[in-house]
Amino acid sequence: MSLLEFAKTEGEKRKCRAFEECGSVNAAARKLGITHPPVSRTITELKRRQALKDGSQHLNHQKVPEGFEIKGASIYFPKTETTPAFWLKNQQDIQKQQVAMEAFAQTYIEDLPPIETPVEPQGDLDTDTIPWIQIGDGHLGMLAHEAEVGHNFDLKIAERELVTAIEILVDRAPNCERCVIQDLGDMTHYETFSAKTESSGHDLDFDSRYQRMIHTYARVMRSIVEKALSKFKYVDVIVNQGNHSRSNDVWMRVFLKHVYHHTDRLRVLDNASFSFPTAWAIPL
């Protein structure tokens, strides 16, 4: 397979043709009348693209024990006259997985009938103040034992304490037109059936099954949103991506947007990126 198939720009194609005609990076550079580093970088990148494709095809034919999955592969490149030997490591495309997950969530719930929204609050509402309730690292699904760390923690405790805390905060808040509920990330302790952090693969102490954690997560967020809508006319929800919960954070945003799509009282901000700008007021 020619490296030319993996060239995307005219510059890459020109360097690749010269390399394949001359047989070496230095000879290709002389033919093109340029120094050899640009040619070397281009050829290395084309080999990387080729390896990713070959590795992906190879992985599709591999067998693994039941209950396990192939996460990635390492490919060895021997030393050449211009580059040292190196290993190329790759893994599944997390961004593509997120796109697929979001598409699935949208398809699954788009035809659900609208739920009944809490009655809109009446009376004079403060428009100059926005109560901002921040939830930092809920870690639903984490497991801890008092004998080991000083406190017990599991799904039941997490749900009870978090929902109760939000109810107290909302009840104590002034009567305002708008409120913001911000999940700062890591609302769930893990995001896959393997109960590991997706990006780093760290082993975690987790409570029960992934499905049970997801049910708890959905129930907690519904409870928080419903409580806020019973007190404030408008509620903005921000679900930030966390390293423990990134994929769950994506589908939770989709879930809330579709469940409450029939009302303009709830706004769920897009969290496709780790950070996103939002204007809340006009500076004086």
> Model confidence over 187-243: pLDDT tens digits?
887 877 777 766 666 677 777 778 888 888 888 888 999 999 999 999 999 888 777
Q: What is the dihedral of CA 243, 220, 125, 267, to 10 degrees?
A: 50
284 pLDDT higher than 50: no
- Check residue 227 and give its pLDDT: 92
User: Average pLDDT in the 248-270 region?
Assistant: 83
Whether 157 and 260 map to the same domain: the answer is: yes
Note the pLDDT of residue 232.
93
| pLDDT for 109 beyond 60 | no
Q: Is residue 284 part of a domain?
A: no
Tell me the two tokens of residue 181.
Answer: 């509920």
Same domain flag for 119 and 75: no
| CA distances, 108 to each of 7, 124, 148, 251 (Å) | 39, 39, 42, 11
Whether 50 and 164 share a structural domain: no
Residues of 114-138 as b/e, b for ≥16 C-beta within 10 angstroms? eeeebeeeeeebeeeebbebebeeb
Q: Are residues 141 and 248 in the same domain?
A: yes
Q: How far is CA 143 from CA 86, 137, 162, 196, 244, in A?
A: 40, 14, 15, 13, 14
* Bridge partners, residue 225, by sequence: none
State yes or no: pLDDT of 63 exceeds 60.
Answer: no
The confidence score (pLDDT) of residue 50 equals 80
Domain that holds residue 33: 3-91
Kindly state whether residues 71 and 144 are assigned to the same domain: no
Burial class (CB in 10 A: 0-12, 13-18, 19+), 111: exposed
Structural domain includes residue 282: no
Domain count, the chain: 2
Q: What is the mean pLDDT of residues 21-48?
A: 87
* Residue 280: inside a domain: no
Q: Tell me if 210 is assigned to some domain.
A: yes
Return the residue matching tokens 């494709």: 53
Q: What is the pLDDT of residue 121?
A: 81
Residue 273 lies in a domain: no
Residues 74 and 124 grouped into a single domain? no
Residue 180 confidence class, pLDDT cut points 50, 70, 90: very high
Residue 274 within a domain: no
- The answer, yes or no, to whether residue 168 has pLDDT greater than 90, is yes
CA proximity to 161, closest of 182, 183, 140: 140
Q: Are residues 56 and 137 in the same domain?
A: no
Assigned domain for 99 exists: no
